[in-house]
């Protein structure tokens, strides 16, 4: 799949932000823990969600879409197997979130070791250490992680790094243990808060989510739940940056402003004007784009998922910007592709130095991961001429109706 973008057009108008990919993926996995029906609202229709739902079906679950963005998941025959299929699980790292959910429901789980993707090795050590602390046995065998309940007990778990996935897996495993578990140095991302609201609806006691100390008191029996997926703060940031690089005026609808504070602050520093409403915000240009220094950090720091899109914006900002990537060890791949469009970027270890240039030029480039792909679309929107982005399927994985939404804002984008 290729994205063909003709640059040089200002984005104008309104765009509605979809449900958060990274919240939907964990809620779909968590549905395994519910004995009765689970209904999820505001679920984005993207490839990663389809794959996660196919894994639910492979475990014995049934899912039916009840409207454009509402899905009902049920388990008429209970859990038929506790092994996630390699062919599906290898497509996305978030398949590792079935680990904690299956342990809570059945006391057993077998998932393929998620392959590192090209933004880093992405080990599972923190997940496994946490599960072992909760009394689960864990074994690595033939590329699979096998885990089973030895003597599940509540415990204090300290995370060396506030890993989003490790926090989520440990929360779900603890949610099935009728004792107290405390996770210290837990991740604080809004997607974790969304998971906590789901677990609470299942009758689990969760306290402190959104801070670095989460207290969970699990329950053995859990019914069903209905839960809404929060708006996607990364999709929102992507459209804000796309508006900014084209000097356009764009209003985003269906956002949660507090989730975007780090992004709003940085974009204002880069010279954009951001007016916030109740659940909307409007980006307008205010003079030229200015060089800005970015450090990615766990939430509420600047999100690593917007680092590549920011690099595209800063490629045409006046002056020299420094970007430090503190979360993943190899997330500057997009720099080489941006340089093919005329960007001037020097990468040294975890730091990228971006010298702003007058303008970028259309070229043939390759999306190396989802967010790098988004960055290339952003660069292409401002570049002179046509840009062809191959491996575009990586972009469609995480951005609902991106071609439609950009065209609706006046961009000239085609997918072939």
Which residues contact ligand EPZ (rule: CB under 6 A)?
Answer: 21-22, 25, 93-94, 120, 122-127, 161, 163-166, 304-305, 327-328, 370-371, 398
User: Do 108 and 82 touch, CB atoms closer than 8 A?
Assistant: yes
Alpha-carbon gap, residue 57 to 35, rounded angstroms: 15
Closest CB 57 distance from ligand EPZ, rounded Å: 19
Give least dist CB 127 to ligand EPZ, A: 5
Whether 227 sits among the annotated catalytic residues: the reply is no
SS3 category, 162: coil
- Of 126 and 149, which has the nearer Cβ to ligand EPZ? 126
Instruction: Tell me which residue has tokens 């290339």.
Output: 376
**CB of residue 299 to ligand EPZ, shortest distance in Å:** 7
Residue appearing with tokens 């592709």: 337
Indicate the helix (H) or strand (E) that contains 347. Answer: strand 344-348
- Per the CB < 8 A criterion, the answer to whether 281 and 264 are in contact is yes
The per-residue DSSP string of 57-112 comes to HHTT-EEEE-STT-EEEE-TT--S-SB--HHHHTT-GGGGGHHHHHHHHHSEEEEE
DSSP 101: H
Instruction: Give the H/E segment covering residue 403.
Output: helix 402-408
Give the residue closest to ligand EPZ by C-beta.
Answer: 165
Q: In angstroms, rounded to a whole number, what is the distance separating the alpha carbons of residues 67 and 200? A: 25
In the complex, least distance from residue 10 CB atom to ligand EPZ, rounded to whole angstroms: 27
* Shorter beta-carbon distance to ligand EPZ: residue 186 or 272: 186
**Interatomic CA distance for residues 326 and 339, integer angstroms:** 22
User: Of these residues, 39, 79, 113, 117, which one is catalytic?
Assistant: 117
CB-wise, 120 or 247, nearer to ligand EPZ?
A: 120
Q: What is the dihedral of CA 264, 266, 271, 273, to 10 degrees?
A: 10
Nearer to ligand EPZ, 27 or 341 (CB): 27
C-beta of 23 vs 317, nearer to ligand EPZ: 23
The least CB distance from residue 318 to ligand EPZ, in Å, is: 29
Measured in whole angstroms, the distance separating CA 120 from the mean position of its chain's CA atoms is 15
Q: Which residues are catalytic?
A: 117
């Amino acid at each position: 799949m290729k994205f063909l973008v003709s640059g040089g057009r200002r984005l104008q108008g309104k765009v509605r932000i979809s449900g958060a990919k990274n919240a939907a993926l964990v809620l779909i996995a968590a549905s395994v823990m519910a004995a009765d029906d689970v209904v999820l609202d505001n679920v984005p229709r993207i490839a990663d969600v389809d794959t996660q739902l196919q894994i639910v079906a492979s475990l014995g679950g049934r899912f039916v879409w009840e409207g454009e963005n509402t899905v009902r998941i049920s388990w008429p025959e209970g859990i038929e197997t506790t092994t996630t299929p390699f062919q599906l699980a290898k497509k996305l790292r978030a398949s590792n979130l079935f680990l904690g959910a299956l342990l809570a429901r059945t006391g057993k789980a077998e998932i393929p070791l998620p392959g590192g993707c090209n933004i880093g090795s992405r080990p599972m050590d923190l997940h496994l250490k946490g599960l072992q602390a909760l009394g689960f046995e864990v074994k690595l065998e033939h590329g699979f992680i096998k885990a089973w309940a030895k003597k599940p007990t509540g415990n204090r778990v300290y995370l060396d790094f506030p890993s989003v996935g490790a926090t989520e897996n440990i929360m779900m495993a603890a949610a099935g243990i009728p004792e107290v578990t405390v996770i210290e140095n837990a991740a604080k991302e809004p997607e974790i808060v969304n998971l906590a609201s789901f677990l609470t609806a299942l009758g689990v006691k969760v306290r402190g989510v959104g801070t670095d100390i989460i207290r969970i008191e699990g329950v053995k029996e859990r019914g069903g739940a209905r839960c809404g997926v929060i708006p996607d703060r990364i999709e929102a940031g992507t459209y804000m940056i796309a508006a900014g690089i084209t000097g356009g005026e764009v209003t985003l609808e269906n956002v949660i402003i507090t989730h975007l504070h780090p992004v709003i602050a940085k974009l204002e520093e880069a010279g954009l004007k951001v007016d916030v409403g109740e659940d909307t915000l409007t980006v307008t240009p205010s003079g030229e784009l200015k060089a800005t220094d970015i450090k990615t950090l766990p939430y509420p720091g600047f999100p690593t998922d917007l680092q590549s899109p920011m690099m595209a914006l800063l490629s045409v900002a006046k002056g020299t910007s420094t970007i430090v990537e503190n979360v993943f060890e190899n997330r500057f791949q997009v720099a080489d592709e941006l340089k093919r469009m005329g960007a001037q970027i020097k990468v040294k270890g975890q730091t990228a130095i971006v010298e702003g240039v007058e303008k970028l030029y259309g070229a043939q480039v390759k999306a190396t991961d989802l967010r790098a792909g988004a960055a290339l679309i952003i660069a292409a929107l401002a570049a002179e001429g046509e840009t062809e982005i191959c491996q575009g399927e990586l972009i469609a994985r995480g951005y609902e109706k991106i071609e439609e939404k950009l065209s609706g804002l006046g961009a000239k984008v085609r997918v072939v």
